[in-house]
Chain A
Amino acid sequence: MDLNLFFSQLLNGLSSGAIYASLALAIVLIFRTTGILNFAQGEMALFSTYVTWWLADQGLSIGLAIAISVAVSFVGGAVIERVVIRPFEKASPLVIVIATLGLFLALNSLTQVVFGTDAKQLGSAFPDTVWDVWGLRIEAQTIGILVVLGLECVALWVLFQRTRIGLALRAVADNPEASRLLGVRVGTMLMFGWGLSAALGSLAGAMVVPTTQALTASSLQSVLVFAFAAAALGGFDSPLGAVVAGLIVGIARALTIQYIEPLNNIELVVPFAIILVVLLVKPAGLFGSTQVERV
């Protein structure tokens, strides 16, 4: 076996895995705070990525464009919670799933209407430097994506474990009614959670597009599927699970494409297989929890 090829595929897998992890984190964040699986997460990120592209197209540096897009996405996510999701607050889970699917379609169409249907080019935030380490090509791009994921994790940890608003977010996720009785503004927290999630999605989108060819209205759909597989594998309520499983899924994908010839071009089989197996064998996922609670 060609070890060099193996390791370079491993690196490929890690970098796409880090992006799945980012989006999986966004999915987990919303699931934890609201119990909703947001199928529109990818299309929210798609819209954000077009915003990034548009800002860069206006002549802003790519870094600044991403920063502004992240902020805009935060506000957009919060507005979506308030306007699209909140009215279904008391509806059944099925209705809410349909609402997020509606949001998926609406955002996809909106993106095409606003930005047009032609493919866009989005530059990378990272230099195209390549290092040669013992014959292995390591791209700055790959390292950059992993560093961004690391920073996201640290930021989320600090937010949830060290701040008042993070504590309130966890309280709402745990028991919304009891939280309200303590004076926690549940609605505001839900908006905050959706905003945060959209901001993460925006980052994921800005990282994924330069690694593929171009930005089109379907750019983030397969990413969403892989991210969902990661969230299922890690456990929908576990941020740590999302990160670890995101990387696992990325590596699994890269290696199957390389080594299992028949799966070439139909690599979407991989996430579906992962989702199915997890649901059958360990529905809570690798790191997911069934709440420990005594009555």
Chain B
Amino acid sequence: MSLLEVVDLSAAYGPIQVLHGISLTVDAGEVVVVLGANGAGKTTALRAISGLVAAKGELRFDGVSILGRHPESIAHRGVSHVPQGRGTLAGLTVDENMRLGAYSRRDREGIAADLAEWYDTFPPLAKRRSQTAGTMSGGEQQMLAVARSLMSRPRLLLLDEPSLGLAPLVTKQLFETLATVNRERGIAMLLVEQNAALALELAARGYVLEAGEIVASGTAENLSRDGEIRKAYLGR
């Protein structure tokens, strides 16, 4: 049984159908990437999974249906969504953002330990603990979004274009951190990315989404070798 099972999932904004029955799975501890052009429906797919967008079909987390559940309760089950645009609580401090990341937890000591650990992993955040989060640079805010999600000790991390707006070097560091987190903590990830090269390096498997439908899937290795995917997403 997969950790996340999406079967024939559809979603629409009003009369406009955006997802036309997509199916995908993420196993426990696995990193899976979704590639797709602008407007393909990648963000919508993640929002449907985390409950922000109403959807039809089947949606199971850890064997339990989460279709139609509130985002709050899906988050409490261990799905943490780092939204496109980062979802910074702009008027709150970095530290307050981090503490809200652990909102679903009650273990004070564990929270304190994690806080120390993630500040260690992301030194720029540690330096800016008491800075108003909205005044940080885009890259710093992206780090915060990821670190804040990790504070919830999720079992599945949904990442929507974490490299958006980051300098290449920062992106590379972020992906290295994600790889480490995945390896050491066994946190599964469903990653949406434009930076296909880096994403396919991190992920074990992937799907290609086009106009709301899955048009290709396979291991990261096979996808990287596929001629059309190379042309469309790897630029070579």
A residues contacting B by CB (< 8 A) are: 164, 167-168, 170-171, 173-175, 177-186, 291-295
> Are B103 and A168 in contact, CB atoms less than 8 angstroms apart?
yes
Given contacts A181-B52, A181-B81, A182-B148, contact A167 B87 (CB under 8 A): no
Which residues of B sit under 8 angstroms from A293, Cβ to Cβ? 88, 90, 134
In the complex, whether B92 has a CB less than 8 A from a CB of chain A is yes
Out of B71, B90, B141, name the residue touching A180 (CB < 8 Å): B71
Which residues of A sit under 8 angstroms from B132, Cβ to Cβ? 292
> Are B92 and A174 in contact, CB atoms less than 8 angstroms apart?
yes
> Are B103 and A183 in contact, CB atoms less than 8 angstroms apart?
yes
Most buried by A among B52, B71, B136, B141: B71
B residues contacting A by CB (< 8 A) are: 50, 52, 70-72, 75-76, 80-81, 83, 87-92, 96, 99-101, 103-104, 132, 134-138, 141, 148, 152
> Are A170 and B87 in contact, CB atoms less than 8 angstroms apart?
no
CB distance from A12 to the nearest CB of B (A): 37
Out of A168, A175, A183, A295, name the residue touching B87 (CB < 8 Å): A175
- The secondary structure that dominates the A interface is helix
Which residues of B sit under 8 angstroms from A164, Cβ to Cβ? 103
Q: A177-B83, A184-B100, A292-B132 are in contact. List 20 more A-B contacts (CB 8 A).
A: A164-B103, A167-B92, A167-B96, A167-B99, A170-B91, A170-B92, A171-B100, A173-B91, A175-B90, A177-B52, A177-B87, A178-B83, A178-B89, A181-B75, A182-B104, A182-B148, A182-B152, A186-B72, A291-B91, A294-B135
Q: Which residue of A lies closest to B77 (CB)?
A: A183
CB distance from A284 to the nearest CB of B (A): 14
> Are A178 and B88 in contact, CB atoms less than 8 angstroms apart?
yes
Q: How far apart sit A175 and B191, CA to CA, in the bound complex (Å)? A: 23
How many A-B contacts at CB < 8 Å in the complex?
A: 83
Which residues of A sit under 8 angstroms from B148, Cβ to Cβ? 182
> Are A175 and B81 in contact, CB atoms less than 8 angstroms apart?
no
Which residues of A sit under 8 angstroms from B81, Cβ to Cβ? 181
> Are A168 and B100 in contact, CB atoms less than 8 angstroms apart?
yes
Which residues of A sit under 8 angstroms from B136, Cβ to Cβ? 294
Which residues of A sit under 8 angstroms from B138, Cβ to Cβ? 294-295
> Are B89 and A183 in contact, CB atoms less than 8 angstroms apart?
no
Q: Which residue of A lies closest to B96 (CB)?
A: A167
Q: How far apart sit A227 and B58, CA to CA, in the bound complex (Å)? A: 51
Q: How far apart sit A14 and B175, CA to CA, in the bound complex (Å)? A: 59
Q: Which residue of A lies closest to B86 (CB)?
A: A178
> Are A291 and B101 in contact, CB atoms less than 8 angstroms apart?
no
Which residues of A sit under 8 angstroms from B83, Cβ to Cβ? 177-178, 181
Q: Which residue of A lies closest to B135 (CB)?
A: A292
> Are B89 and A171 in contact, CB atoms less than 8 angstroms apart?
yes
Given contacts A180-B71, A181-B52, A184-B72, contact A294 B137 (CB under 8 A): yes
Q: How far apart sit A249 and B137, CA to CA, in the bound complex (Å)? A: 40
Which residues of B sit under 8 angstroms from A295, Cβ to Cβ? 138
Which residues of B sit under 8 angstroms from A186, Cβ to Cβ? 72
CB distance from A125 to the nearest CB of B (A): 36
Pairs A-B, 5 closest by C-beta atoms: A178-B87, A183-B75, A183-B104, A293-B134, A180-B71
Q: Which residue of B lies closest to A181 (CB)?
A: B81
> Are B103 and A182 in contact, CB atoms less than 8 angstroms apart?
yes
> Are B134 and A294 in contact, CB atoms less than 8 angstroms apart?
yes
Which residues of A sit under 8 angstroms from B87, Cβ to Cβ? 175, 177-178, 181
CB distance from B146 to the nearest CB of A (A): 13
Out of B72, B100, B134, B152, name the residue touching A292 (CB < 8 Å): B134
> Are A182 and B90 in contact, CB atoms less than 8 angstroms apart?
no
Q: How far apart sit A295 and B84, CA to CA, in the bound complex (Å)? A: 12
> Are B100 and A179 in contact, CB atoms less than 8 angstroms apart?
yes
Q: Which residue of B lies closest to A170 (CB)?
A: B92
Which residues of B sit under 8 angstroms from A294, Cβ to Cβ? 134-138, 141
Which residues of B sit under 8 angstroms from A170, Cβ to Cβ? 89, 91-92, 96
Which residues of A sit under 8 angstroms from B52, Cβ to Cβ? 177, 180-181
Q: Which residue of A lies closest to B99 (CB)?
A: A167
CB distance from A31 to the nearest CB of B (A): 14
CB distance from B137 to the nearest CB of A (A): 7
Out of A167, A174, A183, name the residue touching B72 (CB < 8 Å): A183
CB distance from A42 to the nearest CB of B (A): 28
Which residues of A sit under 8 angstroms from B92, Cβ to Cβ? 167, 170-171, 174
Q: How far apart sit A180 and B89, CA to CA, in the bound complex (Å)? A: 12
CB distance from A181 to the nearest CB of B (A): 5
